[in-house]
Structure 1
């Protein structure tokens, strides 16, 4: 088993934000391929955020904390209250709708944004009812200057308020 010497993605953000785009995209590709493995196993992660992604010394990525994963076969039957880290939670989850593969894609969009900013989304806001309401009303983190247009377009598709408009893996 590999050792995640660099720790969590959260701890590496200040370095990653300075990477060349080619290297950022490679890291994001590794993360999305890890998420694809989870989804191909008929699971939804349900708690994807920068603290649940580990980085090795050669910048391999590992998605961890699968404790909240749910089978896609019984998501509708789930009576659990949705949980996760608010800034990464899709608006439909805040409205207490079931988890979906698309809700993980929304979480991935927040990770994409972090790669441009170097900080977690909504870092300057309290994680409270007001933030929940803002997210449900379509508030998203401010686009960072000099972010490539094609990257912005993909990120915005991933954080679309309509889960059915989000891309699939």
Structure 2
């Protein structure tokens, strides 16, 4: 199991750095676009609509690629009532179940995201911005994000399985 986990941790470490950099750049673009919109409107009395429409179009690229790194760091939305009650092997079994559900869900949403991207590519629709951007570019964030989530959920599942098999105690 360690032969699989070590390269998977390395891959996910790189993915985590890339998604962090991507989210930082996207957040900066969103803030700058809205700031530029206000500055241009103030200076000229008129503005460009795409400054205002760009941030909502970038939200999927901000959110979905971060699902995996957030899951790994424990920052993902979670219910912490049951994990606070359980200890030892029972807690590991709960984590194993959660990671298995995340793994299955990521596969389902990855496939659905691919179908949505394919549909919008075939339709050839463009976002209604001043700049013509294919709408499937926005939808591409779904399968990319869920592929990343799959990788992180698999890492955590294998890690938990390793702890379960070895009888290692789990830290809260």
TM-score normalized by the length of structure 1: 0.28
* Structure number having the greater strand percentage: 1
Q: Which has the higher contact order (CA 8 A, sep 6+)?
A: 2
- Name the larger-Rg structure: 2
TM-score normalized by the length of structure 2: 0.28
